[in-house]
Amino acid sequence: MSAGSFQAPKGIPDYIPLPRGERGSSADFVAVRNGLLRATAEAGYGYIELPVFEDTALFARGVGESTDVVSKEMYTFADRGERSVTLRPEGTAGVVRAVLQHGLDRGQLPVKVAYAGPFFRYERPQEGRYRQLQQVGVEAIGVDDPALDAEVVAVADRGFRSLGLSDFRLEITSLGDASCRPEYRELLQDFLFRLDLDEETRRRAEINPLRVLDDKRPQMRELTADAPLMLDHLSAESKAHFEKVLGYLDALGIPYTINPRMVRGLDYYTKTCFEFVHDGLGAQSGIGGGGRYDGLVEQLGGREGLSGIGFGLGVDRTLLALKAEGKTAPSAPRVVAFGVPLGEAARDAMVPLLARLRVAGVASDMAYGSRGMKGAMKAADRSGARYALVLGESELEAGTVTVKDLASGEQRSVPRDAVVGELTAG
């Protein structure tokens, strides 16, 4: 690296204007983000734009002090006024904060919002695990209806499928509620403390015993094979809720696997919890996840008894998953028409023509500078445009433009005044 040349901070991907399908292509990125957002809009989620940093205490209290996200991965610093602020590691706590601050919880329920943007976690960077990660998320707050759980799962499923993604599966479970989880936790701890555990695992069993069940080491799998599972100790209410959710998913034709050992990295979850997993991604296989959170609203200062449910879908990982399947998400081309003016007079005529096309909604670009026919046509091809608009001396004289279909090679002469009409028709 020469002096004065910079690199992006470690573990942070750039998305730049590269051809579709190339790693790091911003067109692919936008197609995925917009496709996932479109699925949220189809189900009536309104867009919410949140601050990228918040009070540190919001995340400590909302996400949970014992989680890795809060204890090890937050970007926390004092601002110039000596307030402790943190770059958002996730979206749920910020959404609940905004809903309460603006009194949305006193209006029509559920409050249904969607968001998209960067989140920050100081993780060990590797393929699919970044320090600035991009999510599309939703939160539906204020109603504890299993039909809403099914809707949230269905929106994620629809979002992924609308991009063409297919080789993923949905894992789902219930983490119970305040009436059954504490009892189960004790039961599990009793079981775990009777085992011969290493020091670190024992400590984990004390702080968050559920996480021990997620230990992937074969000897731990064996040791905990007979551990009691939350699913077998649900309260009647949680059990009925979970069965209803599964019933709706069956009715919607959304396939799922029940994974009673699922552990999510955030503390606020209760009842329904789910993850979308893609097997083409190696270790970082989670392309999205979410669940219900009964206690979070109250914990952040809201009314008692207001539950919520939501998900966060990883845009970066969805891009990698599409690549693993050899697909690119569908999207409108960057430009539809590309001007090829030959000579200065032609350029003078092309500039207002492009302006009129843009106003009419036809995305357009042109070969700038004084390029010859060959170079300009190459630029037209590279642009991904559907049509090249060639304007040379003969066209200038005749008041026409040659419209060339870049896919078929067909071309026809169109009066210059009729070009906008031609390209917007049908």
Which residues of the chain form contacts with ligand HAM (CB under 6 A)? 90-92, 121, 123, 128-130, 133, 135, 137, 139, 265-266, 286-291, 310-312, 314, 316-317
Shortest CB 314 distance to ligand HAM, Å: 2
Smallest gap from Cβ 292 to ligand HAM, in A, equals 8
Tokens at 41, concatenated = 């809009």
Is 386 in a helix, a strand, or coil?
Answer: coil
Nearer to ligand HAM, 13 or 384 (CB): 13
Task: CB nearer to ligand HAM: give 176 or 314.
Answer: 314
Q: Cβ closer to ligand HAM: 133 or 170?
A: 133
Tell me the residue ranges of DSSP E strands in 110-195. Answer: 111-120, 132-141, 168-174
Report, in Å, the least distance between residue 162 CB and ligand HAM. 17
Residue 148 or 403 having the CB closest to ligand HAM: 148
- Please give the distance of CA 232 from its chain centroid, rounded to a whole number: 32
User: Rounded to the nearest whole angstrom, what is the least distance from the CB of residue 92 to ligand HAM in the complex?
Assistant: 4
Q: How far is the CB of 206 from ligand HAM (least distance, A)?
A: 23
Of the two residues 137 and 339, which places its CB atom closer to ligand HAM in the complex? 137
CB 338 within 8 A of CB 363: no
E-assigned strands of 34-103?
A: 46-47, 53-55, 75-78, 84-87
Q: Which C-beta is closer to ligand HAM: that of 168 or that of 387?
A: 168
Q: How many Å is the Cα radius of gyration of the chain?
A: 27
Contact 311, 288 (CB under 8 A): yes
Output the smallest distance, CB 95 to ligand HAM, in A: 8
75/177 Cα distance (integer angstroms): 31
Give the Å distances, CA to CA, from 76 to 116, 205, 265: 21, 28, 19
Phi, psi at 99, each rounded to 5°:
-60, -45
38 CA to centre of own chain: 12
